[in-house]
Structure 1
């Protein structure tokens, strides 16, 4: 009898693991289970679908269920795993369409249960008209609400990546938009001084931004639908509320099974994505914690890039190969309308928390040669370690062409480069793409000069 691999969760991490294991060892019986209606889709594309950049939901699906099944994977949608029994090597499954439960044994188990939206613990948060942005079903529900109820006012709770992207989507749909965030500035993945640049740009787009503001309740009207968000700064009328308050690892099943969880509630794994102390159990994607290669601490980074890599790593090892996932440096990019936002590495408070002595430099430059008609303003911030000059973090905010410059900084972080070494990087140059001195190089040179004179 062939070995059976059971995968719980059929999106990026889960189906990467399933596909890679089956590819390397075709004799494996691979069963993938998901309670939803879709598999292998881009959740990151939902804000752009809602905004209208993506016309058809099918374009967000990387591989259809039929394609997976043709490749020998037994993909079962609308099947929810209710319980894990790692001692017996089986999972308890509910067929949601038939209302039937059954047990399924495994030789290898891959937990790819993703993440769930954080929902403020306030009255009315589950009212009709309040939407998460986690699944294609969520995106479809928002579009249906826009179509059938013609809302005029949207309130977005949270000013992180999803929050600013959904704020843009609502603006482009013609709604009056207010963003409410507990933090001093939006995009708390940046330092507050860089977040202030994002706030200025959002306000310039007509988005009302209320920071350092706590939500008290969500109020409904006589029809039962949302009508307002009540904060400690007053009541905000709302016909639609979007949850952009971040996510937490979806590890309820793992916790109930007694599997090891980290500080952020994500599953703990080794470099091969195995779950320690649980024979044959692997985990990948938004439900796990990853090693931050800059701080040396564990972190929760819910990104499709990591999920695909981690899933492929698990699948390679299950399929008889060898692979490791060494960790992350915390690279992410986003945008709100024409403003691009990027970061990698540590923020100021994170440097303090792990004991680095650091300094920061800022430079203002342009994304192209200053005389070129497509040149846009860009601000670059670098954080470096005192004495050694090792790069610790980078943040970039600017116009078209700004965000992907963060990749050079991410590579420098990955290789533990100093700002002095960065000054000699051979980056691409032509007037439509960069000044003679790229903004990243200008920032590195400024940091190196400061290091020499300190």
Structure 2
């Protein structure tokens, strides 16, 4: 049999690797097409590369094409799949030299996501960057280095950068550009950065962003990009015009499923591919024979709200790809869904969430209560103790833990994992108050912030 993989990043190559582990080369031929130049890399690390915190791109690559080829996976970079014919079981592929077709028995669709680009963002002028691939990171780094090296009028100092979009990537990129010596303005259409957390927690994030010297403009809509001499010069908004020598777009992503849609492969309600628990593509008529999908091109089930969502994260892509590869190889594995766990860092401020936010809980129809507490990461008398804020949501009648959010300094964000395990296992906040968490003054107060928050919301039930 032959399996063709569309997409050479986390999901596609995890699937290929797992299938190869279970089926020998004479049982399954694996051919993977990647339109970019890299395989299996950490896109989440790009802001830290741009901010000169890590070297790249080699440091961000988990496995290169040569390694996969040694394992019997024929990876071809610089090859874009442009068409799928399910009836003929072929794909059309284009590279720099030619266009050709290849046949398949099994198809692994792992084309990832594509950036959201409003009409005003489709501008060919230089100095405008997305932040989706290692190639995007390399292009921005080259541009910034030309400032620092004296090109285009001098170093980064005194240059203006505008980051559009205040989500995870936008906030991280704004910090990275500050580190590179630019004046940075962060523009967000909603009323707060990091809209995945509640407004009171988002206000803490906003304070941290402004504390870095970033000009934060919320509730502002971008209308156009001003350019001249083939370069970006300014960002036009409904709240005025902002000078810009460089613009970074962080407007989110959507599933990259146009190729699947054109081939007649059914899409789900979010525009992503719908799959069953084993990552087989499904539609109104059931499983699509021989077609699997994983990663940012798929939609997932939120296990708390029950809603179908598009949640593009490398953690999910790796897990889904692994599940698909195990099943393709004759084993059995499932991917049940997600609970919305995510963390990030703005300078020394850590932000984390899991489960549902208040807005999401309301949309799902829950009656719930919340409690917000202030605590510290260590015993108050121990050196290095710093504050953190923890917010917990619980169902009003049952006490079922619905979600949690944490904003704090050192050692704050990873405390969300205790909440994530509790949400995953449908624990009540009363049950959480008895958790046997580790204690010693260098690591936690005698009452860990997790336990304090659970107890406070349990008192409201």
The one of 348, 369, 372 equivalent to 1:338 is 348
Q: CA deviation at 1:368?
A: 1.1
Q: Does 1:180 align with 2:187?
A: yes
Q: Does 1:39 align with 2:39?
A: yes
Partner residue in 1 for 2:250: 244
Q: CA deviation at 1:124?
A: 5.9
Q: Deviations over 1:176-212 (max 9, x none)?
A: 1110001110001111111111001111111111001
Asked if the contact 1:291/1:297 (under 8 Å) is kept, the reply is yes
| Counterpart secondary structure, 2:280 | coil
| Counterpart secondary structure, 1:278 | strand
1:300 to 1:122, Cα distance in 2 relative to 1, 3 A: same
Q: Deviations over 1:391-446 (max 9, x none)?
A: 11111111011000000011001000000011111111121211111111100000
Q: Does 1:358 align with 2:362?
A: no
Asked if the contact 1:124/1:220 (under 8 Å) is kept, the reply is no
Question: Structure 1 CA distance, aligned partners of 2:165 and 2:376?
Answer: 30
Question: Structure 2 CA distance, aligned partners of 1:368 and 1:126?
Answer: 51
Partner residue in 2 for 1:137: 135
Partner residue in 1 for 2:277: 271
| Counterpart secondary structure, 1:387 | coil
Question: Structure 1 CA distance, aligned partners of 2:14 and 2:367?
Answer: 40
Partner residue in 2 for 1:202: 209
The one of 378, 396, 417 equivalent to 2:388 is 378
Partner residue in 2 for 1:160: 167
Asked if the contact 1:124/1:219 (under 8 Å) is kept, the reply is no
Question: Structure 2 CA distance, aligned partners of 1:442 and 1:125?
Answer: 51
Q: More displaced, 111-120 or 67-76? A: 111-120
Partner residue in 1 for 2:227: 220
The one of 406, 413, 426 equivalent to 2:416 is 406
Asked if the contact 1:119/1:245 (under 8 Å) is kept, the reply is yes
Partner residue in 2 for 1:109: 107
Q: CA deviation at 1:127?
A: 2.7
Q: How many residue pairs are counted as aligned between the two chains?
A: 446
Q: Deviations over 1:142-194 (max 9, x none)?
A: 00000113441111100100001101100111111110001110001111111
1:63 to 1:227, Cα distance in 2 relative to 1, 3 A: same
Q: CA deviation at 1:265?
A: 1.1
Q: CA deviation at 1:121?
A: 2.5
| Counterpart secondary structure, 1:447 | helix
Question: Structure 2 CA distance, aligned partners of 1:205 and 1:288?
Answer: 36
Partner residue in 1 for 2:433: 423
The one of 13, 16, 21 equivalent to 2:14 is 16
Asked if the contact 1:131/1:138 (under 8 Å) is kept, the reply is yes
The one of 293, 305, 322 equivalent to 2:332 is 322
1:25-104 aligned at under 5 Å gives the runs: 25-26=23-24, 27-94=27-94, 96-98=95-97, 100-104=98-102
Q: CA deviation at 1:278?
A: 1.7
Question: Structure 2 CA distance, aligned partners of 1:32 and 1:390?
Answer: 44
Q: Does 1:310 align with 2:317?
A: no
Asked if the contact 1:51/1:172 (under 8 Å) is kept, the reply is yes
The one of 442, 451, 460 equivalent to 1:450 is 460
Question: Structure 2 CA distance, aligned partners of 1:357 and 1:259?
Answer: 38
Aligned structure 1 segments of 4 or more residues deviating by more than 3 angstroms: 123-126
| Counterpart secondary structure, 1:436 | coil
Q: CA deviation at 1:87?
A: 1.9
| Counterpart secondary structure, 1:15 | helix
| Counterpart secondary structure, 1:275 | strand
Gaps of 5+ in 1: none
Question: Structure 2 CA distance, aligned partners of 1:294 and 1:376?
Answer: 32
Partner residue in 1 for 2:152: none
Q: CA deviation at 1:323?
A: 0.6
Q: Does 1:122 align with 2:120?
A: yes
The one of 391, 403, 424 equivalent to 1:393 is 403
| Counterpart secondary structure, 2:281 | coil
Partner residue in 2 for 1:289: 299
